[in-house]
Structure 1
Amino acid sequence: MTRLAFIGLGIMGLPMAKNLVAAGFEVAGYNRSRSKVDAFAAAGGRGADSVREAVRGAEVIVTMLPDSPDVEEVVLGDVLENAAEGALLIDCSSIRPEVSRRVAEEAAAKGIRALDAPVSGGEQGAIDGALSIMVGGAAADFESARPVLDAVGGTVVHVGPAGCGQTVKAANQLIVAGTIELVAEALVFLEAHGVDTAAAITVLAGGLAGNRILDRKAEAMAKREFTPGFRVELHHKDLGIVQSAARDAGVAIPLGAAVAQLMGALNAQGHGALDHGALLKIVEQLSGRGRGTE
């Protein structure tokens, strides 16, 4: 499998597509914003003017789209209408599990194999080709996709049939949001007591409290630098998926529901384009402290 189409060259998709080119694949890339297509072409990929053009003749089609409606429109539309029979579709978007199952069913009806393969690791993980990828679909199709997935991921795991990848991603987003909120609370708490936060982050990261959020985001959060690696508006969307899926399964997520409310408030305040580490703003507001109260 060497001829690929990559649809969706955003914060995550563009570095992923670049890594596929670097791995030796022939990749045609498309994005609604032409500047992203041009950036991909400058990195050695082939820019396409439409989904139809990118998909035609591709053996593997990778999609990285913002939300369930985008996947329903693009994948169930132009992608499946123009993909060759026997092609392998790898949807890396983070969407509702039931939408992934529908995509798999409609793809199968057209003789196209489909996997839901959402990713975790943020922009830096995409740049480094070190994403964690949770894959739902048939085991044989997963094995066929391994060369592509291994080019963009460091941890690539088949987690079950169609939709299971999205379910695991929802759990991932639940844990990440909760951890960011606790790190934000810890930082505001430390600052209120006049502690050297840089030193505190170092020692906390070396103990049982150590986690990837402390390693990757705490320093920027402490500096109030919220350049997006993963936007608030997208995490707000993902937590909606978590709440819906938990309700469908009859599972209580009391802490998750609280964090979802905080993320929703941050988004409603107009901070949707900031990094999700901006949850610190909400903690500051609730504490009546700092720039978060402005």
Structure 2
Amino acid sequence: MKVAFLGTGLMGLPMAQRLLAANIELIAYNRTPEKLAPLQADGAEIATHPRHAIRAADCIILMLTNVAAIYSVLLSDTSWRTLSGRTVIQMGTITPTESQEIRDAVVAAGGEYIEAPVLGSIPEAETGNLIVMVGAQETQFHRHFRLLQYFGPEPRLIGSVGSAAALKLALNQLIASLTTSFALSLAFIQRQDINPEVFMEILRESALYAPTFDKKLSRMLDGNFANPNFPTKHLLKDTDLFISEAKSADLDVSSIKGVRQILQAAMKMSFANDDYSSVFYAIKAWEEGRWE
């Protein structure tokens, strides 16, 4: 089997490298060709156009930024015509409706489509310990199970196409909400001259604790948001997707709208490409009037 990997950014690159390490024949494409250099050095074939990668492969893995990028790379006139007889595995974060629409386009072109968004960041991508959630028919899931295991040890079938995309949005909403809530509490105890370590000792002993708090603590205290595992701009994009879908489901989105405002503030403070823990500085800047 030959795999085409379309999208080799922060997450896509280590995921594609996992396949190369397993001696899977790989052809890669990225809209920014410079990002392909590490894969080329590791032995991947490089495509200059997505249709070349699609035509050469049996299976196409998508790890692209958003649905617009998917349509541009996968479903343009020249690429769409090459999908017949091929399997598309969409692993980025998009809405259930978007995923279903892409499935319909792929099937109309004679191809097969499954969604398999992942939870985790660069360290988990590098070690193959992502949580892989699959939206597909059961037969499709079992047929591609071994391939998906290169990314996570226990891929899980959630339901039909759209179900895994929805679950991924629900989890990313928690990423945004938990991080901003923790950042607010941390900023508050600092203003009260309470030692952050005392705060953390008590928090770790409680049912309120989440491991992500310790993962982000040093970044927040040190103000070091460089070299992100997940940049602020991507979390804002996913938050917008969640808000849109939750409103369509007649849910009250007031709380996540507040989180979105803080993410937007971090963006205005030039943290778009930095780690999303930068929301800590956005929260602290409120009193100073820097993002009203």
TM over 0.5: yes
**Aligned residue in 2 for 1:41:** 40
1:102 equivalent in alignment to 2:101: yes
Is residue 205–residue 214 contact of structure 1 (8 Å, CA) maintained in 2?
Answer: no
Determine the C-alpha separation between the residues in 1 that align with 2:201 and 2:82: 52
Superposed CA deviations along residues 110-165 of structure 1, whole A, max 9, x for unmatched, are 22111122222122221221112222122211222211211012442211111222
Match of 1:53, SS?
helix
Residues 102 and 210 of structure 1, relative CA distance in 2, 3 Å threshold: same
Is residue 269–residue 282 contact of structure 2 (8 Å, CA) maintained in 1?
Answer: no
**Where do 5+ consecutive residues of structure 1 fail to align?**
none
Residues 27 and 198 of structure 1, relative CA distance in 2, 3 Å threshold: farther
Residues 146 and 203 of structure 1, relative CA distance in 2, 3 Å threshold: farther
How much has 1:207 moved relative to structure 2? 3.4
**Aligned residue in 2 for 1:244:** 244
Determine the C-alpha separation between the residues in 2 that align with 1:79 and 1:131: 29
Match of 2:207, SS?
coil
The 5-angstrom pairing of residues 52-91 of structure 1 reads 52-77=51-76, 78-83=78-83, 85-91=84-90
How much has 1:203 moved relative to structure 2? 5.1
**Where do 5+ consecutive residues of structure 2 fail to align?**
none
Superposed CA deviations along residues 19-66 of structure 1, whole A, max 9, x for unmatched, are 111123111111122221111111232222221222223111101111
Determine the C-alpha separation between the residues in 1 that align with 2:179 and 2:96: 24
Superposed CA deviations along residues 142-196 of structure 1, whole A, max 9, x for unmatched, are 2222112110124422111112221111101111100000111122123223344
Determine the C-alpha separation between the residues in 2 that align with 1:10 and 1:213: 23
Determine the C-alpha separation between the residues in 2 that align with 1:123 and 1:130: 10
Q: How many matched pairs?
A: 289
**Aligned residue in 2 for 1:151:** 150
**Aligned residue in 2 for 1:226:** 225
**Aligned residue in 2 for 1:169:** 168
Is residue 117–residue 134 contact of structure 2 (8 Å, CA) maintained in 1?
Answer: yes
**Aligned residue in 1 for 2:279:** 279
Tell me how large the CA RMSD over aligned residues is: 2.0
TM-score w.r.t. structure 1 length? 0.91
Determine the C-alpha separation between the residues in 2 that align with 1:154 and 1:98: 28
Determine the C-alpha separation between the residues in 1 that align with 2:215 and 2:114: 29
Residues 155 and 72 of structure 1, relative CA distance in 2, 3 Å threshold: same
The 5-angstrom pairing of residues 7-18 of structure 1 reads 7-18=6-17
Match of 2:263, SS?
helix
Residues 23 and 79 of structure 1, relative CA distance in 2, 3 Å threshold: farther
Determine the C-alpha separation between the residues in 2 that align with 1:243 and 1:195: 35
Amino acid aligned to 1:133: V
Residues 199 and 124 of structure 1, relative CA distance in 2, 3 Å threshold: farther
Residues 112 and 205 of structure 1, relative CA distance in 2, 3 Å threshold: farther
